[in-house]
Amino acid sequence: MRKGVVSVVLPIYNVEKYLNRCIKSVINQSYKNLEIILVDDGSPDNCPTLCDEWAKKDNRIKVIHKKNAGLGYARNTGIENATGEYICFFDSDDYIALDTIEKAYSLAVQEKSDMVVFGFCNVKANGKTGKAVIPHTEKTTFSGQEVQDMFLVDLIGPDVKNGKQTNLWMSAWACLYSLEMIQKASWRFVSEREIISEDIYSLLGLYKYVSRVSVLSEALYFYCENAGSLTHTYKKDRYCKIKNFYDACYQLADKNGYAESVKERLSYPYLSNTIAAMKMIAISDGNDDAQKRKLIYDIISDPHIQSVLRKTDLTRETRIRKLLLYSIKRKQFGLCYLMIKAKA
């Protein structure tokens, strides 16, 4: 590992329209000691050529062309070729503030942290920046058992009951990681083709090895809702994948010896994904109202979600979400369907 060097991994697939914007935000960072790894994941558009052209312009850039295998494995290719002290993973249709790496690296060095997490802004398809999601935690740095007991549990999901809205977000892209920690742990990302919400599952595995994590309370990442990135088609196996995601996360948390509080909080992303799936049904093309009702009814009647809801403390939820979840728990289909349609 080269001390002082930050490796930036950009997995690239079918983002020709946005790639230059992303790369420009990286090469123009105020922190210059970078190793920029462009992983062309078998992109079918002009991205491979664009990558090669950028490499000719900036000697910090290295390009890896590979057969398409998905986002998770593209990130892993970046890990295997990185030589920096720290590493980060940015999606190539997004972009970052020009002082992102300087601020994250400075905090990591100052606090001797294995990870630094920071906030982000949503950017609409029309280019307008939405409300910033800025982390608010009790302290800047968590160490030892605090990482699991205080930080990880709130990273997985908020605790409204105790007034804890930390605005932490469990994503791979709003973080800076110690490459030495990753290599010692032999940790890699899981493929999104195997488990949905793969960032949550992957990071849940990584936090077993995190001794110190610091929080940078600034929105430095710009998460873009790009045209064509949204779908209005509901795939019938979606809820089955959500159930598999929850079960896999719960088993991993159990295997890693995480506290019961961590396992209990896993219901939050599971229920969020389930609600999102029902919203997608409500707006989906190709299904009439009767078909939509049947799909949603099958979800709320499923023994899996009923089992999760029975062991979930719904008082931790926000008022509207709590009402929706109670309607699912009590199988009040009419109220549930009206709320889903209203939220959609």
Residue 315 burial by CB count (10 A; 0-12/13-18/19+): exposed, middle or buried?
Answer: exposed
Provide the pLDDT for residue 164: 66
Return the amino acid letter for 146.
E
Over residues 1-10, the mean pLDDT reads: 95
Over residues 178-193, the mean pLDDT reads: 97
Provide the pLDDT for residue 187: 98
With a cut of 90, say whether residue 99 has pLDDT above it: yes
Distances (CA, A) of 222 to 16, 218, 253, 333: 18, 12, 30, 38
Provide the pLDDT for residue 228: 53
Beta bridge partners of 140: none
Over residues 256-262, the mean pLDDT reads: 94
Distance of CA 118 to the CA centre of its chain: 12
Residues 333/339, Cβ–Cβ less than 8 Å: no
Q: Count how many Cα atoms sit within 13 Å of the Cα of residue 37 in the half-sphere of its side chain.
A: 24
Q: For the chain, list the strands marked E by DSSP.
A: 2-12, 34-41, 61-66, 84-89, 95-96, 115-123, 129-133, 141-143, 175-178, 212-224
Residues 176/115, Cβ–Cβ less than 8 Å: yes
3-state secondary structure of 12: strand
Query: What does the DSSP assignment read for 144-213?
Result: TTHIIIIIIHHHH--BGGGTB-------SSSEEEEHHHHHHHT--PPPTTTSSSHHHHHHHHHGGG-SEE
Q: Where are the domains of the chain?
A: 2-224, 238-343
Over residues 267-292, the mean pLDDT reads: 90
Provide the pLDDT for residue 233: 61
Q: What is the CATH number of domain 2-224?
A: 3.90.550.10
Provide the pLDDT for residue 230: 45
Map tokens 């090469």 to a residue: 27
Give the whole-angstrom CA distance, residue 334 versus residue 319: 19
Over residues 90-105, the mean pLDDT reads: 98
pLDDT digits (tens, 9 = 90+) for 283-337: 887 778 899 999 999 999 999 999 999 999 898 888 899 999 999 999 999 999 9
Provide the pLDDT for residue 315: 86
* Lowest-pLDDT choice from 16-30, 51-65, 200-214, 287-301: 287-301
Residues 65/137, Cβ–Cβ less than 8 Å: no
User: Between 92 and 287, whose confidence is greater?
Assistant: 92
Rounded to the nearest integer, the mean pLDDT of the chain is: 94
Bin 163: left if φ > 0, else alpha if -120 < ψ < 50, else beta: left
Provide the pLDDT for residue 181: 98
Provide the pLDDT for residue 31: 98
Query: Pairing state of beta strands 95-96 and 212-224?
Result: antiparallel
pLDDT digits (tens, 9 = 90+) for 105-148: 999 999 999 999 999 999 998 889 998 999 999 999 999 999 99
Provide the pLDDT for residue 231: 46
